[in-house]
Structure 1
Amino acid sequence: MDSKRPEQSFSDIATPIAKQLRMSLASMYNTKYKGRYDKENKNA
C-alpha cells in the first residue's frame, strides 16, 4: 500500500486536469461568443 492517503493522490491528479478543462472551456467559449459580443458592443 502507498503511504500517501488516496484522497491526497486523487486531488493531486484531479486538480491539474480540472484546471486544464476550465481553461480549454474558457477558450472555447471565447472563440464561440466573442464575435457576437463584439458586434453587440458596436451596435450599442
Structure 2
Amino acid sequence: MMTSVCMSGGGMALMGLFGLLVLAFIALGVAALIKYLFSSPRL
C-alpha cells in the first residue's frame, strides 16, 4: 500500500502532510510535558 502511494504523483504531498501531522503531535506532547513539569510542585 505504501509503495503504491509513493509511486503516485501525490505521494510527496501525502508524505509532507503526514510529516506535518507527526511534527504537530510531537510539539503537542512536548508542550504538555513542559506544562506538567512546570505545574508540578515537586521539581
Q: TM-score category by the smaller chain? A: 0.5 to 0.7
User: What is the percent sequence identity of the aligned residues?
Assistant: 6
The alpha-carbon deviation at position 5 of structure 1 amounts to 4.9
Q: Which residue of 2 aligns with 1:2?
A: 8
Normalized per residue, the structure richer in helix is 1
> Which entry has the higher C-alpha Rg, 1 or 2?
1
User: TM-score scaled to structure 1, two decimals?
Assistant: 0.60
Number of matched residues? 35
TM-score by length of structure 2 reads: 0.61
Structure 2: stretches of 5+ with no match in the other structure: 1-6
Name which structure has the greater RCO, CA cutoff 8 Å, separation 6+: 2
- The unaligned stretches of length 5 or more in structure 1 are 37-44
Runs of 4+ in 1 over 4 A off after TM superposition: none
